[in-house]
């Protein structure tokens, strides 16, 4: 396991995929990425072929990652709950002591963010594992059925785009994750030393020193697991999004050629090809959205919680240190990441609208010609009219759970709503702080 992991790290950092041409299959280049995805997100040991042939072994070796990762996650949940419910006790270090250690205020908000993140990701894992064991995961079906089926039709340009994306993202993710491991390792040495200093100064007792050291290691392990989960799932999700985007771009080119061509029989052939490819693409995206909408809803919830906690946390700081700056930056990055994801997802409905517009212009020209042509052309124009109406009504793309359909209009609407909402929220916090200090001064006087 360790040798294969080192080999994967060396492969990703050396950008080995960029050296491949057309002699490698896209799905084969994703095998190693899927192993990491299965480990962090599904907490299982199996391959894509196991899922495809419905032969996942239900033994201790398959569920070994689930035992360890779930144990770490629930230990973190229980520990953070104890810190929130019982902030001052003789077993765990008081949050005020943590604030002195980290040179920051309101450490309870950091604890709450860790707790909410763990609970949301645990709920996501429950959905993941149930769908996987029942062999109805649309995300895994995409990589085991849809992608291999379409791969022979991938042209050289699309193949190069997908391979280049994999190589660059693997390089960035591997580098960032290795740096995170180094940073966590430094904290795992630094925090016990700080706790030892507080123990020698009699600010904490022996029980608090021992529990703080052990739970610090558990929380650091949980941070590595959460980061690995977000990196691996985000990488494969973005890959599928690029894959769909390149396919609909080619459909857009076909619709442009149909609009610009004046040959009826050639247009009819191109239109039938467009309909066939569009239906396949829509069916794949619709099935994938069954899983994606749950993930997007969970991440949207996490994003809103992150930005609220970031506003409250930032307003309570007297001065910005390394720790509180890092925490606020992480929370803001979650919010920015979700808006970036929405911007990319909104490309699919935009291309769908452009295809619809091109086909409508062609249909107007066809119906104008059908006044002077035979019955078969009139029938073709009616069929085309019905298909274009279905393109307009069907929502090609992804949804954020039951909340909203993601397109460019909803993206800009959310962006315009979020910015004033955050400013008002922050203004309200500052106003409450001023009232609090004013009341406190009155009491002192």
Tally of domains in the chain = 1
Report if residue 264 sits inside a domain: yes
Q: Where are the beta strands (DSSP E) in 2-44?
A: none
Model-level pTM?
0.81
Report if residue 352 sits inside a domain: yes
What pLDDT does 435 receive? 45
What are phi and psi for residue 88, nearest 5 degrees? Answer: -120, 110
Contact status, residue 252 vs residue 358, Cβ threshold 8 Å: yes
Report if residue 198 sits inside a domain: yes
pLDDT at 155 over 50: yes
What pLDDT does 440 receive? 46
Give me the mean pLDDT over the 216-243 stretch: 85
Report if residue 20 sits inside a domain: yes
- ∠ CA 340-341-346, rounded to 5°: 100
pLDDT at 253 over 80: yes
Report if residue 46 sits inside a domain: yes
What pLDDT does 157 receive? 83
What pLDDT does 374 receive? 56
Report if residue 6 sits inside a domain: no
Report if residue 117 sits inside a domain: yes
pLDDT at 9 over 70: no
| Locus of tokens 């610090």 | 216
More confident residue, 181 or 438: 181
pLDDT in tens, 47-63: 888 888 888 888 888 88
Report if residue 325 sits inside a domain: yes
What pLDDT does 443 receive? 47
Whole-number average pLDDT of the chain: 78
Q: What is the full DSSP assignment across 237-259? A: HHHHHHHHHHHHHHHHHHHHHHH
pLDDT above 90 as % of the chain: 0
Range of the domain at 83: 14-444
What pLDDT does 438 receive? 43
């Amino acid at each position: 396991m360790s040798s294969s992991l080192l080999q994967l790290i060396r492969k990703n950092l050396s950008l080995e995929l960029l050296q491949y041409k057309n002699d490698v299959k896209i799905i084969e280049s994703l095998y190693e990425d899927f192993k990491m995805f299965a480990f962090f997100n599904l907490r299982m040991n199996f391959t894509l072929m196991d899922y495809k042939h419905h032969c996942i072994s239900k033994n201790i070796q398959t569920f070994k990652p689930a035992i360890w990762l779930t144990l770490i996650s629930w230990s973190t949940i229980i520990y953070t709950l104890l810190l929130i419910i019982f902030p001052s006790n003789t077993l765990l270090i008081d949050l005020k002591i943590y604030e002195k250690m980290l040179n920051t205020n309101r450490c309870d908000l950091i604890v709450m963010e860790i707790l909410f993140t763990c609970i949301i990701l645990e709920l996501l894992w429950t959905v993941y594992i149930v769908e996987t064991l029942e062999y109805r995961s649309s995300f895994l079906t995409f990589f085991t059925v849809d992608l291999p089926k379409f791969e022979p039709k991938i042209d050289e340009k699309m193949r190069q785009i997908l391979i280049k994306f994999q190589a660059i993202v693997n390089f960035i993710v591997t580098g960032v994750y290795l740096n995170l491991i180094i940073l966590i390792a430094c904290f795992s040495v630094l925090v016990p030393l700080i706790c030892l200093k507080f123990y020698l100064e009699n600010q904490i007792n022996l029980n608090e020193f021992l529990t703080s050291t052990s739970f610090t290691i558990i929380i650091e392990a949980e941070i590595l697991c959460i980061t690995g989960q977000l990196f691996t799932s985000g990488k494969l999700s973005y890959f599928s999004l690029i894959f769909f985007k390149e396919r609909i771009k080619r459909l857009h080119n076909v619709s442009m050629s149909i609009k610009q061509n004046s040959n009826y029989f050639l247009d009819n052939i191109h239109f039938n090809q467009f309909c066939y490819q569009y239906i396949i693409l829509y069916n794949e995206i619709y099935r994938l959205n069954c899983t994606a909408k749950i993930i997007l809803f969970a991440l949207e919830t996490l994003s809103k919680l992150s930005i609220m906690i970031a506003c409250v946390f930032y307003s309570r700081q007297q001065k910005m240190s390394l720790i509180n700056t890092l925490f606020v930056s992480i929370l803001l990055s979650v919010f920015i990441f979700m808006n970036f994801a929405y911007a990319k997802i909104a490309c699919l409905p935009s291309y769908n609208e452009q295809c619809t517009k091109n086909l409508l212009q062609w249909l107007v020209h066809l119906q104008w010609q059908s006044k002077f042509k035979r019955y078969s052309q009139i029938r073709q124009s009616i069929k085309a009219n019905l298909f274009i109406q279905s393109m307009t009504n069907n929502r090609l793309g992804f949804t954020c759970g039951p909340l909203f359909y993601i397109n460019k209009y909803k993206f800009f609407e959310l962006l315009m709503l979020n910015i004033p909402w955050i400013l008002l929220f922050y203004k309200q916090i500052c106003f409450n702080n001023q009232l609090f200090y004013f009341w406190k001064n009155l009491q002192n006087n």
